[in-house]
Structure 1
């Protein structure tokens, strides 16, 4: 995962391993209201119909109804750092983060309810694998997670519709819902990840669904839709993100590395980015242009379905953790300084 998430994850795991506990559990503490929320660290953003929704540190969730000109803070029941957000319609959306948090919104991101947290994960796994006579290592893993408590983060999510979705995270943490998050099913035993590498990103299009993670881990959901199978990886460093579109899977990560597949992950070609810093986000606009974003503020654009990229000059570079191509032809960026907006050159919007 990229540096901000790595630092936050490291602190969370260290606190758990030494037995330290916060005075007030962040899972029981609603996110504090702050006039500076839109300028505090934010990790991801998504489109909810015409609305924009951004998530970040300390449970901050913001929404904008004027394409990012102004932001309103949402009502959130936890203060855990939030890593990713997705909406499947103008009203229905989910967000995931540290402490095993899964949040759900029914009103376009204005308010949220908690569907899952790290205090439940071990018990869910114990109940699930305990009912299977040959669960073996998965039952032992469930016991370990139960004993360690709520210190495992979810790092990304993907929903195909308002009922079906996955959440993924550290140490091969993966759960599936088939009923909009009312119940969750562990999928550790259905994921070809024997070293329990972190699952940093999940993305899909249609029936194609992929996961990317540590040490070059690349997985694809099989044709039955019931197992994530390992792909032959072209790279042994960590991947931080995925862009999946018809005819294209683009995986990006450490030290400016990006790889492209046009055959559903069967083979990969390295994409020349010219970057030395990690690529932390990607986006695609309504015209099919693909964008990659460097941690230190570089922006690259491709008009040939990710085969080649050119650098864009969009003003003062800002560190980027998440990005979205807005419908007004601009790029919305989030990072350690909150939200920023970058108008695209006219020629890049065609």
Structure 2
């Protein structure tokens, strides 16, 4: 057995040495500069988000994979993507214009409904953006103690390099949008991503908690994050203001419709508000698995999906939720043009039955 282990170790060492030699010979290429590799398995590889671009479906995932479908998810094509960084979320405010975000602070833009993408921003630039923006404010307001702190945060990001993930993106239209990420990382654009403005000073988050999701419910724009963080855009104050909640665990998403909003997160927790976030009521889900994705379907019903593979159905006004089986963990969901629910996760793309499953 000892001889076998020694041979195995020698073989492993040889493989590692060969891999190192190949890497040295070819030279290291940063994932931010390495285009995503074409793969016939891209649609069945781990995917993290899915959205509608008109009637087209577009999904993003690991290693820069982006796939799209023009037949409600029956067949998928792989998009041309200039990076190999893992991608986490996407937003299409119109049928042709879309944005995707991911690890290493990457922001991608598509002008052809997700068939091809180009990079607008990455983590190598974000620190400098903060330094320049807050440095200018510090010069204009030398007595404001907030600005030097935010300049220092930008300098820290510059020193650490491009390793800060962007976790979600939301665009109101083809010009106005936000990206959010770890450690209160939030940027806003008003020109379709040609330039970005840091918004840390306009977000009530003094502890620097992660911002996991940003979404509009029709009558409000919300941010969900760790340790009970919920924020809502205040037009009057021109900032994201804090909302008190009865739950201090992490939230992974927000969804809703005019007059109603749900926030969901760890251990099956779902909160409901009918007064635009001023007060929240916990809903009984009967689950302990974290809720990782949600969608409001064409009939107005809520569908919430867990990391454990369950689906929750919210009927009527959303006052109650009931369970339904779902075979695999889900990280994103959308309703296709033909009415089917399309979900993505660790097993790639799946289409759920047309008929609402019963618990």
Q: TM-score, normalised on structure 2?
A: 0.88
Specify the alignment match of 1:7 in structure 2.
Answer: none
* Corresponding residue pairs, total: 325
Paired residues of 1:290 and 1:305 also in contact (CA < 8 A): no
Q: How far, CA to CA, are the matches of 1:151 and 1:247 in structure 2?
A: 38
Shift of 1:333: 0.9
Out of 173, 179, 188, which is 2:191 matched to? Answer: 179
Specify the alignment match of 1:101 in structure 2.
Answer: 106
Q: Which blocks of at least 5 consecutive residues in structure 2 are unaligned?
A: 1-26, 139-143
Matched ranges for 1:290-305 at <5 A: 290-305=302-317
Q: How far, CA to CA, are the matches of 1:272 and 1:260 in structure 2?
A: 11
Q: How far, CA to CA, are the matches of 1:272 and 1:86 in structure 2?
A: 30
Out of 341, 344, 349, which is 1:331 matched to? Answer: 341
Residues 237 and 346 (structure 1), Cα distance of their counterparts in 2 relative to 1, 3 Å cut: closer
Paired residues of 2:324 and 2:357 also in contact (CA < 8 A): no
| 1:75-123 C-alpha deviation (Å, 9 max, x unpaired) | 0000000000111111010000000001000000000010110000011
Matched ranges for 1:1-350 at <5 A: 23-133=28-138, 134=144, 135-206=147-218, 208-224=220-236, 226-313=238-325, 317-345=327-355
| 1:1-28 C-alpha deviation (Å, 9 max, x unpaired) | xxxxxxxxxxxxxxxxxxxxx9310000
Q: CA RMSD in A?
A: 1.4
Q: How far, CA to CA, are the matches of 2:265 and 2:184 in structure 1?
A: 18
Shift of 1:234: 1.5
Q: 3-state DSSP class of the match of 2:127?
A: helix
Paired residues of 2:228 and 2:250 also in contact (CA < 8 A): yes
Paired residues of 1:286 and 1:327 also in contact (CA < 8 A): no
Q: How far, CA to CA, are the matches of 1:244 and 1:173 in structure 2?
A: 24
Specify the alignment match of 2:23 in structure 1.
Answer: none
| 1:246-270 C-alpha deviation (Å, 9 max, x unpaired) | 1111110101001011111100000
Shift of 1:310: 1.5
Q: Which has the larger radius of gyration?
A: 2
Specify the alignment match of 1:16 in structure 2.
Answer: none
Specify the alignment match of 2:17 in structure 1.
Answer: none
Shift of 1:305: 3.0
Q: 3-state DSSP class of the match of 2:30?
A: coil
| 1:105-143 C-alpha deviation (Å, 9 max, x unpaired) | 000000001011000001111110110123121111111
Q: How far, CA to CA, are the matches of 1:195 and 1:227 in structure 2?
A: 17
Moved more, 270-279 or 339-348: 339-348
